[in-house]
Amino acid sequence: MTDRPTALVTGASSGIGLATARLLAQEGHDLILVARREDRLTAEAESLRRSGSRVETLPADLADSEGLRTVVDRARTGRVDLLVSNAGTGGYTALADLSPDDVDRLWRLNATAHITLARAVLPAMLQAGSGGIITVASLLAFSAGLDMGFPRTLYVAAKSAVVAFTRSLSGELRGTGVKATVVCPGLVDAEWSGGINHTDPRAMPAPDVAQALLIAHRHDETLCVPGIDNPETIQNWTDTEPTLLHRGNHARLALRYRQPPVA
């Protein structure tokens, strides 16, 4: 055991997860790295240990119920000061073309895993009165009403769920010493989805996203969009929620619904 804080990072073999692990190692964290690719985890762990970090590797597929259970069991035991729940996948397929098993696996990885892992680390964090949870979602969480030119229903639903979950959790944790932040990057230059964004000029380098998420978390930002300079842009979006909630919550039916529907 050491006095260094310990971070558990999922999706840690490449992209945002690996970039975040590297930054945390530089800052003096010990690490628990989770990813499917054991060979990549082993290689990266050796490199990170040279910075002085104690590094544990946990090969697991969070889209698989057994894999998720393995990581949850580890998260419940031993010290975890920071959870960076980053693992995810695209699955950009029309809902009707996905098998029930595909739906189950994609939802587990992109939504359930974030919630389940957060629940696993919370009791110890709350007892300690300190700790942090960072979830990685996507700007596509805000695209449900837009025509993006490609199918993404399940992905958008999962990422929207992660945004809502983390923002609600942040409020629930207020005053406990434990913080929660959800990060919504746009296109990222990484190996994700076969490196499809490598040549896209709009793609942000993964290390920049990693830097943004750590800074946002330390500044107590609940919602981080790495590409937005003006925080008022995010505030303006969140300010619309009370309008819907309070104006819609009364007993009188809206005028436009008072006529019976035409058969």
Query: Is 92 in the active site?
Result: no
Residue listed under structure tokens 């971070």:
7
Taking the C-alpha atoms of residue 167 and residue 182, their distance in angstroms, rounded to an integer, is: 7
**DSSP code string of 99-165:** -HHHHHHHHIIIIIHHHHHHHHHHHHHHHHT-EEEEEE--GGGG-TTS--SS--HHHHHHHHHHHHH
Catalytic residue among 155, 166, 180, 221: 155
Sheet holding 30-35, edge to edge: 55-59, 30-35, 6-10, 82-85, 131-136, 178-183, 223-224
- List phi, psi (to 5°) of 240: -75, -20
Cα-based distances in Å from 134 to 40, 210, 222: 23, 11, 9
Residue type, 3: D
What is the dihedral angle through the alpha carbons of 87, 105, 71, 12, rounded to the nearest 10 degrees? -20
In the three-class reduction of DSSP (H, G, I as helix; E, B as strand; rest coil), residue 15 is classed as helix
User: Which residue from 55, 4, 59, 15 is spatially nearest to 32, judged by alpha carbons?
Assistant: 55
Answer yes or no: are the C-beta atoms of 80 and 91 closer than 8 Å: no
- List phi, psi (to 5°) of 101: -65, -40
Positions marked catalytic:
155
